[in-house]
Structures are given as C-alpha cells and as structure tokens.
C-alpha cells in the first residue's frame, strides 16, 4: 500500500511538530562559548607567534648583514692600504679571503658557487665531510683586480632559530589549551544561571501553582528573562483559566436545555397514544440529545486535558451508534452491521469512545452512497469498513487537519472538525487511529486502543 494513500496517527504523531533546523546547525551554547575562546586564543597566539618569528628573523638578518658589510669594507680597505700584510678582521668569527686577478680562474675550479656571485650578501648552504648540513652568509666585493669574500657561519644561528620555532609552536599549543580551560570555566560561569533557570522552569511546570522565577536571580539579563517568563506564565495561566471557566460554563448551560429535551422526550414517549411516526421522531430527538451530551463531555475533557476514567463496552457503543445512523439513512440503500466478538472493554468515559468511534462511522455512512458499512470488533481495536469512493492522496495527507473537508464532501454538511476531534482524543488517551484505502474500494478506518486500557472479550 503506498504511503501517500494512507493516513495514520499514533500517540507520538497526533500533535503538529514544529520545524527544526538541521542537526549540523544545532550546537549547545556552552560548546559555542568554549569554541569561541579556543578559536580566539589560537588565533591571537598564532598571530603573535608569526609576528614574533618574522620580527626576530628580520632583525637578526639585518644585524648580521650590517656587521658583514662593515667588516668586508674594512677588510678591503686594510688590504688595499698594504697588500703584503694579512689584515685582521674586527670580528674574529668570520673568515675573509681575497682573490687577485691572476687567480680568478683558479677560483672557478675551487669554489664554482662563489665565482658567479655578484656584489652583496648571499645565503649559502652545504654539507660537511660527515654529512651534517651547514649554512653561512657570504659578503662579496668585486673589483677588476681583487675579489673580496667574507663568510659568516650561520649554523649556530640556524640551530637557535629552529629551537626558537619549537618553543614558539609549543607556546601556541599551550596557550590554546589554556584558552580551552578558560573557555570551559567562563562557559560554566555564564551558563550556570541559565541552567538553573531551565531547571526551575521545568520544576515549575510540574506544579499546580507555578513558583515565581525572578526572585531567585539577580537583576541581570537572566533575571530579566526570568521576569519575562513569570509574566508570560501569569498571562498564560489567566488565559487557560478563562478558557476552562468558559468551557465549564458553556457545558453547564448546554446541559440544562439538553436535560429539558431529554425529559420532554421521555415524557412524550411514555404516552401510549403516540403513533409510530411521532415515536420515531421522538426517538431520533432522544438519540440526538445523547449524541450532543457525549460530544459536550468529550470536548470538556479535551479542554481540560484530563483523561477521564470509566469502563466502556465498545461493542455496546458501536451497536448504539449503528442504530442511530440506521434511523438517519433516509432511504439510502446502505447496510450497517456489526461483526466480531463482543466484550472489548476500555478504560475511558463512554462519551469519549462514542465521539471517536461515532465520527469514523459517521464518515463511512456520509460518503458511502450504496453498499454497506461494517464495524468489526477486534482484540483491542475497532475497524470501520465502508464501500465508498475511497481515499485520494491529498485526502490522506490532510485527513486529520482541522477544517479540512475531503474531495468527496462537496454536497455534504459539516465543518471538517470531526476527525480533528478524533485526533485530539487519541492524543489524550494514547490511542491510535489509521485510515487506509480498502482492497478494492472504500476506506478502512482502524481505532486501536492503548493495551493498558483495554480488556479483551471472550
């Protein structure tokens, strides 16, 4: 059976659900606060580490190049003053060398990487005899007659830079973990009053007289929220109270004329001289009065959200409902019959069962022009099977909406709230209602009662 061609409402499906955002967008506020601290801590620390490393490298490089430029200039000046004397360098950690014009080609063979270098300071690297890497800076000054070279060993500086980066990366990780701890602590402090408000609000909802929330919180944002919730709860309580009083008043006022109608009909029915036609009409009035009384009682239970109790014989109620509809067929070629074993008892008021089952039977009688409507009693359920026009996909999707009238209801009376009342009764008593197309035609409506509230028949 295609899913689109059936309508089913269980206890968890009877109330409309609010739209929710996809799960990937949902994250607890506490987690968002902690994540914000971690991202902020990591970002600031990483930015500071990058800036520090860049500044250190830039300053060190400028200092080294400045010293090398001054030393190679001094070395060249001393050599040119007295080429026969090997000049001493002001900085002893540097290696200086001068190559005269007659040895230029020999330098190509000896140091090919030096031969093509232009004036300036160059960074070079290589490997020692043991395979370990080394790096150095080389200052170059070339004249037509002499080439001056000044090398500065950067191995220790490179090692220091590597250690500095290790420490600074460690600092980034350390400060990120510290941000995590600070974020967790801050989130706990920030969310503590919110969690307390949620706890008190939940406890307040379980009590008959809700406790004021604002008195437990300081006059901050959470206190303002608590005061707003108190105000909302007070206004909501007033609305619910007025609604309950209105429903109780309406129920009481309607019961009075209905009682008068019942008394008058019973009095008239007791007259022996009544003809059959008048007696039939009085019986119809009496059944209509009972139907109105059941509906008022059911609606009163729904308005109070109270689960009334009582032992109701479902078979007896179904038989009474079928008798009521037989009297209202008006010549329609329709057969109404009851099948199945008797004895199914439900812990619910007779009015609730009569309204729920009566709407299902009434729909079957209303939309079936010929054939029959069968009410079948099962172990813990009742099936209403008709031979009507069936159920369209649109009807199946909107069948239990308040005010919706099916595609076959053009010439029938009704406001489209019958199945909506059934839906609410099922939600109140944890019953299940299901409407599916029949095997060939018509509709099968199944009302399943909660197992804990039923007693099977023999």
Is the domain of 336 the same as that of 277?
A: no
Domain that holds residue 395: 309-458
pLDDT average, residue stretch 157-163: 84
Instruction: Confirm if 449 and 434 have CB atoms less than 8 A apart.
Output: no
Spatial separation of the C-alpha atoms in residues 237 and 241, rounded to whole Å:
6
pLDDT average, residue stretch 306-319: 85
Instruction: Confirm if 194 and 222 have CB atoms less than 8 A apart.
Output: yes
3 pLDDT band, cuts 50/70/90, is very low
Is the domain of 47 the same as that of 189?
A: yes
Is the domain of 388 the same as that of 435?
A: yes
**Assigned domain for 21 exists:** no
pLDDT tens readout for residues 267-311: 887 888 878 788 778 877 877 787 787 777 777 777 766 777 888
The last residue of a domain, from among 250, 277, 306: 306
Helical H segments across 327-457, by residue range? 350-367, 393-398, 418-429
pLDDT tens readout for residues 363-400: 888 888 888 899 999 988 999 998 888 777 666 666 77
Provide DSSP, 166-200: HHHHHHHHHHHHHHHHHHHHHHHHHHHHHHHHHHH
Query: Kind of pairing, strands 334-340 and 371-377?
Result: parallel
pLDDT of residue 158: 80
The last residue of a domain, from among 169, 204, 239: 204
**Assigned domain for 189 exists:** yes
pLDDT of residue 406: 55
Number of domains in the chain: 3
**Assigned domain for 158 exists:** yes
**Assigned domain for 8 exists:** no
Percent of the residues in the chain that have a pLDDT greater than 90, as a whole number = 12
17 pLDDT band, cuts 50/70/90, is very low
Tokens (6 digits) for 76: 């060249």
**Assigned domain for 222 exists:** yes
Is the domain of 342 the same as that of 275?
A: no
pLDDT of residue 416: 54
Query: Kind of pairing, strands 94-100 and 432-437?
Result: unpaired
**Assigned domain for 16 exists:** no
pTM: 0.51
Phi and psi (nearest 5°) for 233? -65, -40
Is the domain of 313 the same as that of 457?
A: yes
pLDDT of residue 294: 78
Residue 152 or 19, more confident: 152
Specify the CATH number for the domain of residue 247.
1.10.287.130
Contacts (Cβ under 8 Å, ≥6 apart) of 9? 400, 423, 426, 432, 433, 434
pLDDT above 90 for 358: no
The last residue of a domain, from among 306, 321, 352: 306
pLDDT above 60 for 2: no
pLDDT of residue 48: 93
pLDDT above 60 for 12: no
Mean pLDDT of the chain: 80
pLDDT above 90 for 108: no
pLDDT tens readout for residues 122-150: 988 877 777 777 788 899 999 988 899 88
pLDDT of residue 51: 93
Specify the CATH number for the domain of residue 446.
3.30.565.10
Is the domain of 222 the same as that of 137?
A: no
pLDDT above 50 for 16: no
Is the domain of 57 the same as that of 133?
A: yes
Is the domain of 191 the same as that of 268?
A: no
Task: Please tell me whether residue 312 adopts helix, strand or coil conformation.
Answer: strand
Is the domain of 119 the same as that of 57?
A: yes
172 pLDDT band, cuts 50/70/90, is very high
Is the domain of 287 the same as that of 321?
A: no
Residue 5 or 458, more confident: 5
pLDDT average, residue stretch 256-265: 81
Is the domain of 449 the same as that of 336?
A: yes
Is the domain of 263 the same as that of 177?
A: no
**Assigned domain for 379 exists:** yes
pLDDT tens readout for residues 173-230: 999 999 999 999 988 888 888 888 888 888 776 666 677 888 888 888 888 888 888 8
**Assigned domain for 290 exists:** yes
Q: Which of 394, 414, 416 is nearest to 405 (CA)?
A: 416
């Amino acid at each position: 059976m295609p899913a689109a061609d059936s309508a089913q409402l269980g206890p968890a499906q009877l109330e409309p659900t609010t739209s929710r955002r996809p799960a990937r967008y949902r994250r607890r506020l506490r987690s968002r606060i902690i994540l914000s601290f971690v991202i902020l801590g990591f970002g600031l620390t990483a930015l500071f580490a990058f800036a520090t490393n860049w500044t250190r490298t830039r300053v060190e490089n400028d200092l080294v190049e400045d010293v090398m430029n001054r030393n190679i200039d001094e070395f060249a000046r001393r050599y040119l003053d007295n080429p026969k004397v090997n000049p001493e360098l002001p900085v002893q950690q540097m290696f200086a060398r001068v190559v005269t014009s007659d040895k230029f080609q020999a330098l190509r063979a000896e140091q090919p990487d030096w031969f093509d270098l232009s004036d300036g300071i160059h960074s070079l690297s290589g490997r020692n005899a043991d395979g370990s890497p080394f790096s150095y800076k080389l200052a170059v000054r070339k004249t037509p007659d002499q080439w001056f070279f000044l090398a500065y060993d950067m191995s220790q500086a490179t090692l220091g830079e590597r250690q500095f980066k290790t420490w600074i990366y460690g600092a980034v990780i350390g400060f990120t973990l510290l941000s995590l701890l600070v974020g967790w602590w801050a989130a706990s402090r920030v969310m503590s009053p919110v969690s307390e408000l949620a706890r008190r609000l939940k406890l307040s909802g379980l009590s008959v007289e809700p406790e004021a929330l604002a008195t437990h919180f300081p006059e901050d944002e959470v206190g303002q929220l608590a005061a707003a919730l108190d105000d909302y709860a007070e206004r909501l309580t007033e609305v619910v109270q007025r609604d309950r009083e209105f429903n109780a008043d309406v129920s009481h006022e309607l019961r009075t004329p209905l009682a008068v109608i019942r008394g008058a009909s019973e009095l008239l029915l007791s007259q022996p001289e009544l003809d059959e036609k008048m007696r039939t009409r009085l019986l119809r009035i009496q059944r209509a009065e009972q139907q109105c009384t059941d509906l008022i009682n059911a609606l009163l239970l729904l308005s109070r959200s109270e689960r009334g109790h009582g032992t109701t014989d479902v078979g007896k109620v179904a038989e009474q409902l079928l008798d009521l509809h037989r009297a209202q067929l008006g010549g329609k070629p329709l057969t109404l019959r009851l099948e199945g074993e008797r004895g199914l008892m439900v812990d619910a008021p007779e009015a609730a069962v009569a309204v729920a089952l009566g709407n299902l039977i009434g729909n079957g009688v209303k939309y079936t022009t010929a054939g029959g409507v069968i009410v079948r009693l099962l172990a813990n359920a009742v099936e209403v099977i008709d031979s009507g026009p069936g159920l369209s996909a649109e009807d199946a999707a909107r069948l239990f909406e308040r005010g919706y009238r099916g595609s076959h209801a053009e010439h029938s009376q009704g406001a489209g709230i019958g199945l909506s009342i059934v839906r609410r009764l099922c939600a109140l008593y944890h019953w299940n209602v299901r409407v599916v197309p029949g095997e060939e035609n018509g509709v099968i409506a199944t009302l399943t009662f909660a197992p804990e509230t039923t007693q099977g028949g023999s």
